[in-house]
Amino acid sequence: MSLDKVKHIVLVLSGKGGVGKSSVTTQLALSLSLAGHSVGILDIDLTGPSIPRLFGIESSRVQQAPGGWVPVPVHSASPEAGIGALSCMSLGFLLRERGDAVVWRGPKKTAMVRQFLSDVLWGEIDYLLIDTPPGTSDEHISLAETLLKTAYPGQVAGAVVVTTPQAVATADVKKELNFCKKTGIYVIGVVENMSGFVCPNCSECTDIFSRGGGEAMAIEFEVGFLGRIPIDPQFVMLLEAGRTPVYPVGTVINGENFGPRESGDASTSASTKDPETLANKYRECSLSRFFGDITQKVIGVAEARSTEAQKA
């Protein structure tokens, strides 16, 4: 079984589409990697795989090796810098053309999810993050069933549930929380994404999609609340164009100065394609600070649940 040497499995779920499951998965992976852990990402959104695009590795293809598929590497480990290896697997890597539609009914999706869980050669990794499509249907049932059958006790740390603050989104995400309850998936906590947007011109914060809905939902369902993530167009540009985030002078987030450090710095980092790895560029992004905290909480829960299972 390809998951044998995976220490912790974390699912990223949401009942609602477009709330940022893939971008939360991406940032969790980058943060875990920057914290020195080796990470794999499995994208089981079969009809809308976004992970290859977010990591800028759309043209990569999966290699077939004896015993299974080799996931696509994003960057290798560099122990001296304290960075862990990162690799991904997605249906996007198996398509002939990047815009190819996958028009599959349930049974075929189920077969693919099972194959993804059994045939990918992850090797020894600390964290496997599983990015999912919206909803509570074939992919989710197959995922829950397979993990229930094959994962060893304590291996599945649980689910990070992503929502946006508005009531229309939390209404769907509440259904996902009930799905977790019914299938026995532990909820690590809720991330409230797109919570507020700071105008880059006047630094006034507008709650485009309202505010606080995720936290209220976490309280109502008695699950953890991992944090609130604002909208940062610099992060979108980092993923879309590979541009290192540059903030206007005087940008202070959580007491840390994010403005350009020195006069020469801004001009070099403003070039659209620099050779720096995505992980290093992400350090410059304001959101990395928010995710640093979230990542610590996820690590805490994952390790606690794994030791607890070993004791039992």
- Binding-site residue numbers for ATP are 15-22
- Residues 262-281: x where in contact with other proteins by CB under 8 A, - otherwise, as a string: --------------------
Binders of other proteins among 149-188, rule CB under 8 A?
164, 166-169, 171-172, 174-179, 182-183
Q: DSSP per residue over 235-297, as a string? A: HHHHHHH-PPP---TT-EETTEE-S-SSHHHHHHHTSS--SS-HHHHHHTSTHHHHHHHHHHH
Q: How far apart are CA 312 and CA 307, in angstroms?
A: 9
Of the candidate residues 65, 199, 249, 312, the single one contacting other proteins (CB under 8 A):
199
**To which residue do tokens 């995505």 refer?**
278
In 191-248, which residue ranges form alpha helices assigned H by DSSP? 213-220, 233-241
**Other CB atoms within 10 A of residue 251 CB:** 18
Beta strand pairing status for 225-228 and 187-192? Answer: parallel
CB of 130 to other proteins, least distance (A): 17
CB of 309 to other proteins, least distance (A): 25
Of the candidate residues 4, 18, 257, 304, the single one contacting other proteins (CB under 8 A):
18
212 makes contact with other proteins (CB under 8 A):
no
CB of 115 to other proteins, least distance (A): 9
Whose CA is closest to 258, among 277, 245, 270? Answer: 245
- Residues 230-259: x where in contact with other proteins by CB under 8 A, - otherwise, as a string: -x-x--xx-xxx------------------
- Residues 106-135: x where in contact with other proteins by CB under 8 A, - otherwise, as a string: xxxxxx--x------------------xxx
100 makes contact with other proteins (CB under 8 A):
yes
What stretches of 47-112 adopt beta strand conformation (E)?
Answer: 63-65, 68-70, 72-75, 86-90
Q: How far apart are CA 104 and CA 138, in angstroms?
A: 11
Read off the tokens for 40: 């794999």
Applying CB under 8 A, what is the total number of residues that bind other proteins? 67
CB of 140 to other proteins, least distance (A): 8
In three-state secondary structure terms, 4 is: coil
Nearest CB to other proteins, comparing residues 202 and 312 = 202
204 makes contact with other proteins (CB under 8 A):
yes
CB of 48 to other proteins, least distance (A): 4
Cα–Cα distances (Å) from 201 to 145, 198, 246, in that order, read: 49, 9, 14
Q: Which residues of this protein are in contact with other proteins, per CB under 8 A?
A: 15-19, 22, 47-48, 50, 53-54, 98-111, 114, 133-138, 140-141, 164, 166-169, 171-172, 174-179, 182-183, 197, 199-202, 204, 206-210, 231, 233, 236-237, 239-241
